[in-house]
A and B are shown apart, each in its own frame.
Chain A
Amino acid sequence: MTHFEDLYNRYAPQIFRVCLGYTNDADQAKDLVQETFISVWKNLEGFRNQSQVSTWIFRIATNHCLRAIEVAKRMPAAELPFELAETVEESPEEKLALLYRCIAELEETERIIISLELEGLPQAQIAEVVGLNSGNVRVKVHRIKDKLAQKFKAYGQFR
């Protein structure tokens, strides 16, 4: 198995979740995964370990997400089923859909930061991906969490 295949198998699911967090659209997220790994494949030989390979791949993926603004307006947030806002006991799928819906309502960079945070990247690494310092990322994560909490509350999920 080549190095590329190792990287793909290891990071494709993570990249897909992050792109899904950004787009809230599975097809668009798959396209972004493909774009990301085309860039990875093309630049793999030139990668000189200046940063961790995961930082490198997440930078490529999130830049592809941001590049989508060149061709599309702000990614539309998919609608939730009408009755979901009234439901208290939801299935895991509904919980996930609600999470994506709430993330989709955030601003572009907030979506990237919270997606990377939920994916489990250390905040120092998120800072490297986004281009902010760690302290700034910590504050932003805290604010985004508060925003999400308010959104969940609005959808009747915080009790």
Chain B
Amino acid sequence: MDNLDDLKAIWHTAKTDSLPTSGEMLQMIKKFRRQRLRNKWQVIITSCLLILLMVVILCVLPFKMLTSYIGGALFITAMVTLVATTVKSLRRFYRLDNCSNLEFVAFIEQTRQNQIFYYKKTMVAIVLLCSIGWLLYMYEPTYKYPLWFIGTHTAFIIYMAVMWFVVRPRSFKKDEDKLNALKQRLQDISNQLK
């Protein structure tokens, strides 16, 4: 084992007969294609349906107060932002095609920064737009019924407070640690390629 040719000879003794046949691989690809990115597509499709639903409601139902329209518009803006962000993040899964390792490492770093931006800015904007929009939108149907008004608004505010102050920090902390560890590893790999 003292020269490259010896190593090459050993290298090529690796058994590859356990690999699936091309037919089996095609079957796997078809199955896997449906599963992969399913969550992201679900977010996009659900958001688009909600946008469509809100547009139809605003056009069809005879709202009298401006708050309902402002609320609906804010909700639609939040959903459009969510769709745009998710579509943008889908790009990373298609970016593997024909770029060198060096370019790809730079791309992962960019993606990492985008994820941090999403947590710190975009997510805040989406939740704020959605919350204010929903509260404004619900004003008209409930303002004549104080109990309903207090009930729906209080329930929504409590739900949002729990999500914002309990769920989000936990999930962010977990992902932040992961993203920081990734930063270090990307730095190591970039240094290896210098």
A residues with CB within 8 A of B: 1, 4-5, 8-9, 12-13, 16-17, 20-21, 26, 30, 33-34, 37-39, 41-43, 46-47, 50-51, 56, 59-60, 62-64, 66-67, 69-70, 73-74, 92-93, 95-96, 98-99, 107-110, 112, 117-120, 128-132, 145, 148-149, 152, 157-158
Contact = CB atoms under 8 A, between A and B. Distances in A.
A154 B189 CA distance: 26
Nearest to A127: B100
A76 B108 CA distance: 21
Contact of A73 (B20, B32, B36, B181): B181
Interface stretch (B23-31, B49-57, B64-72, B142-150): B23-31
A158 B1 contact: yes
A4 B25 CA distance: 10
Contact of B97 (A20, A60, A129): A60
Given A39-B97, A92-B13, A118-B7, A34 B25 contact: yes
13 contacts: A16-B19, A34-B25, A39-B97, A42-B94, A43-B97, A56-B98, A59-B101, A63-B104, A73-B181, A107-B189, A110-B192, A131-B103, A149-B2
Interface residues of B, number: 43
Contacts of B60: none
Given A39-B96, A118-B7, A158-B1, A96 B101 contact: no
B39 interface: no
Given A56-B97, A99-B11, A107-B192, 5 more contacts: A42-B94, A66-B105, A99-B1, A108-B192, A109-B189
A93 B14 CA distance: 8
A70 B10 contact: no
Contacts of B100: 59, 128-131
Nearest to B104: A63
Given A99-B7, A132-B102, A69 B189 contact: yes
A5 B26 contact: yes
A95 B120 CA distance: 51
Most chain A CB within 10 A, of B16, B23, B101, is at B101
A63 B94 CA distance: 12
Nearest to A136: B193
A92 B25 contact: no
A23 to B, nearest CB: 12
